């Protein structure tokens, strides 16, 4: 038993030692020579045999679609007459090890190298190198399988880098994101060309946004903290305020120093005293985490302080995935709304020119994630109350007091058809109606108390979501602003109107104000529709590179993490060769490919 165990450990050690020069040297095995005849024709024949014999049903999953495996591998090799892509005439493994190294860095993008055959490639390279250094010929089938696995890994990894690992539309009906298509075959051609650069080709697949690359760098910084036991914790049994003196204040000071809010170089005579310097650091932390910046360390602030580095690493990785879902072309002028941050940015030529607070859907009526185009505005709009709101919010009020309608300038129509007859609400037995029986259309007249305010911004979409003004201005003073029924209430509707009407010069601010004051309902169509993107980001970097975190108000981080945990892309099809080990035993390499 002891000798068998020793033999197994010796074999593993030999394989790892033999792989070391592949990763750190010139890409050739130690005793490798170029005197042996090149087996390229045999490798070519083995590749063709593998591709012709694979089953049509065995595929590789990429974002819920069949993008790799049996769908793309035959195409990739057919256009090259089944010649290997990663093995050259001299059978150097330099290109193979370069791709192997890049796959090993998938963690830098919040991805898992194991999803891209990293372990299988490592074992196969070690086996090939072991044979070559001992002068034993490497079977062409081994080279063919190495090449096919590398190609499949490149395509799958490339697909995940460019459009995401998880299909967002599988997470719920309120996700309609279309990142656009990337020509993976063209990128593969570029990477495997004689003068191709694999790393450059891979980098071109990443989202072309500074925000994505900045978040990658932030992830690297967090990973450095994890082995050092991360951040310390703060006791939450008592609220801490400026002027307090307690042992918990010392712990708070230490925690904020760790995360960079507090400068450790500044002298402090009494570390247990909650001074103005510490209060300013608390406010910085609160702003960075979307909390009310009051300088008081209460339950919510302590909760954020005690989130572990490991949790933040996972959160950043999930938001890197969300970057990969974004359209490649956001537009030159566009509106971006991060519902998790309750904020709207109007962007022109890459610069934020207007920013404002917004109110988004409550957790029970979540604001969706999608892209559309603002095509028109309605000034002094009517509000046709959605049936859900009418039944769940207004009907209970009607049953208690019929005057609710007149007090809110709401009229009743018998149905939703054009020209429907208006109904006297006093003639209706409202107790007889419910969610499954409510034919009426409730319409609120324009005015200062209209729920949509004075302007609504329309962008046709399957969710019937739009942006609008609101008479309820006090909500914008809250730090967490998830109070609407799904539509987005904007803090500064005139500033937003000025932005979207910039290419409609006849509509000056004065003219728009005059129209609002007149009370007339009018539709203004945009000469050039403006793209609008509703996103959900709970982690990002600001203009200074500082990490921002927000609460997962809709539990979408939780849902995406579950999808990551259960979504395991299938491995390469039809690669079940069985290389002999030096001690005469046979190793089941297909199990290694399948991650078993």
Catalytic residue positions, numbered: 468, 487
Helical (H) or strand (E) element with 468: strand 467-468
Listing DSSP states for 264-328 in one string gives TTS--S-TTB--HHHHHHHHHHHHHTT---SS-B-HHHHHHHT--HHHHHHHHHHHHHHHHHS-S
Angle at 322 between CA 320 and CA 326, to 5 degrees: 115
Alpha carbons 31 and 286: distance in angstroms, whole number:
60
CB 309 within 8 A of CB 230: yes
CB 521 within 8 A of CB 446: yes
Alpha helices by DSSP H, 410-508: 493-500
Q: How many CB atoms lie within 10 A of CB 168?
A: 24
Please identify which residue in the block is written with the tokens 């006849």: 506
Alpha helices in 206-270 (DSSP H): 210-225, 247-258
Q: Are 457 and 374 in contact (CB under 8 A)?
A: yes
CA distances from 561 to 136, 174, 219, 230, 416 (A): 46, 17, 16, 21, 41
- Cβ atoms of 149 and 593 within 8 Å: the answer is yes
Backbone angles phi, psi at 356, to 5 degrees: -160, 160
Helix (H, G, I), strand (E, B) or coil at 11: helix
Q: Is 10 helix (H, G, I), strand (E, B) or coil?
A: helix
Report the distance separating Cα 446 and Cα 381, nearest Å: 6
Q: In the 3-class helix/strand/coil scheme, how is 393-430 assigned residue by residue?
A: HHHHHHHHCCCHHHHCCEEEECCCCCCCCEECHHHCCH
End-to-end CA distance of the chain: 24
């Amino acid at each position: 038993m002891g000798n068998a165990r020793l033999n197994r450990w010796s074999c593993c050690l030999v394989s790892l030692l033999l792989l070391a020069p592949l990763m750190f040297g010139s890409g050739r095995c130690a005793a490798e020579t170029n005197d042996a005849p090149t087996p390229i024709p045999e490798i070519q024949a083995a590749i063709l045999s593998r591709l012709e014999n694979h089953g049509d049903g065995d595929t590789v999953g990429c974002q819920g679609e069949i993008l790799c495996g049996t769908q793309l591998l035959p195409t990739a090799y057919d256009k090259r007459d089944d010649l290997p892509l990663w093995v050259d005439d001299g059978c150097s493994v330099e290109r193979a090890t370069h791709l192997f190294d890049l796959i090993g860095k998938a963690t830098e993008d919040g991805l898992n190298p194991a999803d891209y055959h990293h372990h299988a490639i490592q074992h196969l390279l070690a086996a090939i190198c072991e044979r070559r250094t001992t002068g034993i010929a490497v079977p062409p089938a081994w080279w063919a399988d190495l090449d096919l696995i590398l190609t499949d890994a490149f395509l799958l990894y490339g697909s995940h880098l460019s459009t995401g690992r998880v299909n967002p539309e599988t997470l719920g009906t309120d996700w309609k994101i279309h990142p656009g298509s990337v020509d993976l075959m063209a990128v593969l051609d570029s990477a495997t060309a004689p003068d191709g650069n694999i790393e450059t080709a891979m980098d071109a697949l990443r989202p072309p946004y500074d925000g994505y690359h900045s978040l990658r760098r932030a992830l690297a910084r967090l990973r450095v903290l994890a082995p050092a036991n991360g951040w310390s914790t703060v006791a939450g049994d008592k609220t801490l305020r400026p002027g307090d003196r307690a042992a918990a204040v010392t712990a708070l000071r230490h925690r904020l120093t760790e995360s960079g809010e507090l400068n450790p170089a500044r002298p402090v005579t009494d570390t247990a005293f909650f001074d103005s310097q510490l209060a300013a650091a608390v406010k910085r932390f609160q702003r960075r985490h979307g909390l009310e910046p009051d300088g008081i360390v209460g339950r919510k602030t302590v909760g954020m302080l005690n989130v572990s580095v490991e949790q933040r690493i996972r959160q950043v990785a999930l938001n890197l995935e969300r970057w990969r879902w974004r359209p490649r072309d956001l537009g030159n002028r566009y509106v971006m709304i991060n519902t998790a941050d309750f904020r709207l940015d109007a962007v022109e030529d890459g610069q934020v020119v207007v920013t404002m607070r917004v109110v988004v859907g409550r957790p029970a009526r979540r604001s969706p994630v999608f892209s559309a185009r603002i095509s028109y505005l309605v000034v002094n709009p009517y509000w046709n109350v959605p049936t859900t709101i009418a039944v769940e919010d207004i009907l209970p009020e009607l049953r208690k007091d019929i005057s609710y309608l007149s007090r809110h300038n709401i009229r009743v129509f018998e149905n939703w058809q054009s020209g429907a007859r208006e109904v006297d609400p006093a003639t209706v037995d409202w107790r007889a109606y419910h969610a499954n029986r409510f034919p009426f259309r409730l319409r609120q007249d324009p005015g200062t108390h209209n729920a949509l305010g004075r302007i609504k911004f329309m962008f046709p979409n399957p969710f019937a979501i739009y942006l609008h003004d609101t008479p309820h201005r006090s909500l914008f003073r809250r730090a967490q602003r998830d109070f609407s029924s799904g539509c987005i209430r904007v803090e500064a509707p005139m500033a937003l109107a000025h932005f979207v009407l910039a290419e409609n010069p006849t509509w000056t601010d004065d003219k728009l104000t005059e129209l609002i004051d007149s009370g007339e309902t009018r539709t203004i169509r945009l000469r050039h529709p403006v793209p609008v993107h509703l996103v959900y980001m709970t982690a990002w970097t600001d203009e200074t590179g500082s990490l921002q975190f927000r609460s997962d108000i809709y539990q979408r981080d939780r849902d995406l993490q579950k999808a990551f945990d259960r979504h395991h892309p299938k491995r390469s099809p039809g690669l079940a060769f069985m290389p002999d080990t030096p001690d005469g035993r046979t190793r089941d390499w297909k199990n290694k490919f399948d991650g078993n």
